[in-house]
Amino acid sequence: MLGGARVEAVVVETEAYRGPGDPASHAATRSGPTARNAAMFGPPGHAYVYLIYGMHWCLNVVTGPEGEASAVLVRGAEPLSGRDVMAERRQRRRPLLAGPGRLCQGLGVDGGLYGHALDRPPLLLARGWEVHEELVGVSGRIGVVAAAEEPLRFYVRGSPGVTPGTPRD
DNA sequence: ACTCCGATTGTT
DNA sequence: ACAATCGGAGTA
Point out the residue nearest to C3 (C-alpha to C1').
A53
Question: Å between A4 CA and B3 C1'?
Answer: 41
SS3 (DSSP) at A110: coil
Residue A133 is predicted with a pLDDT of 96
Residue A3 is predicted with a pLDDT of 63
Instruction: Tell me how far apart the alpha carbons of residues A53 and A73 are, in angstroms, rounded to a whole number.
Output: 16
Residue A20 is predicted with a pLDDT of 86
Residue A135 is predicted with a pLDDT of 97
SS3 (DSSP) at A119: strand
CB A74 within 8 A of CB A32: no
Residue A19 is predicted with a pLDDT of 86
Strand B lies under 7 A from the Cβ of residue A141: yes
Strand B lies under 7 A from the Cβ of residue A24: yes
Strand B lies under 7 A from the Cβ of residue A55: yes
Residue A141 is predicted with a pLDDT of 97
Below-70 pLDDT ranges, chain A = 1-3, 30-31, 168-169
pTM score: 0.95
